Amino acid sequence: MPDWISYWDTHPIYVNARHRDVHVRLIGDGILSYVTSAGAKVLDYGSGEALYAERVADAVANLTLCEAGQKLRASLEARVAGNAKISVLPPERIAALPDRSFDLIVMHSVAQYLTSVEFAALLRLFRRLLRTGGQLVLGDIVRPYVSALTDAWALLRLGARNGFFVSALLGLLHTAVSGYLRLRKEGGLTRYSERTMHDALHAAGFTAQRATMNIGHNQARMTFVARAD
């Protein structure tokens, strides 16, 4: 797989401040919709900037952010340093945590950047880290045959609805020359049908269902909710 960690560690995902605010609200709302208790211990795996983190932390007992990119992680640590309810850890520290550490684990828009072997290993880790009855939420799962054009159109529609259409169009042009399309063309996205995702989750010891709505703006992608019974 191409080095997506390095790419996203150095390339912004927002075309402007309005896009950032809309995206942060959508992802934050999506995560909060799966919080069932103010006492929940939550892991956001592959969190990126997680500009919604403070809002999610206000609704739970504690929030752990896991980010592999060194620059993103350093920025996160600096930003949330004064919030006792938020911790920031690299993946290797997450892997060393005790069994049943979390009530809810969210991994949004990450599975496509992992090989199927890496993804299967993560599912086994999540199964160990979840308490009995806990939930795993996998968002933005890329289906087979969903193209970059479909994803671009979803961003343009979001921009048109929220007042940043022109910036979204310019951002897509910038992305086209940034190396993203090359990485994607080289086989850098792992895709799952609904059936293969169910099979992967079942093999890791979860019962699962596809959510009615995907977290975020792109409804060509899927969200799955799995339970550790």
The overall average pLDDT reported for the chain is 93
Per-residue pLDDT tens digits for 138-174: 999 999 988 888 999 999 999 999 999 999 999 888 8
Please, which residues bridge with residue 227 across strands? 135, 207
Return the axis-axis angle of helices 165-176 and 17-32, rounded to nearest 10°. 90
Per-residue pLDDT averaged across 203-211, rounded? 97
| The pair of three-digit structure tokens given for residue 146, joined into one six-digit string | 């969903």
Please, which residues bridge with residue 136 across strands? 105, 226
CATH classification for the domain delimited by 4-227, as one of 3.40.50.150, 1.10.10.10, 3.40.50.720, 3.40.50.2300: 3.40.50.150
Residue 188 has pLDDT above 80, yes or no: no
Q: What was the pLDDT predicted at 148?
A: 83
Residue 1 has pLDDT above 60, yes or no: no
Q: Which of 27, 24, 22, 25 is nearest to 159 (CA)?
A: 22
Provide the whole-model pTM: 0.94
Q: What was the pLDDT predicted at 174?
A: 84
Per-residue pLDDT tens digits for 76-114: 999 999 999 999 999 999 999 999 999 999 999 999 999
Q: What was the pLDDT predicted at 2?
A: 53
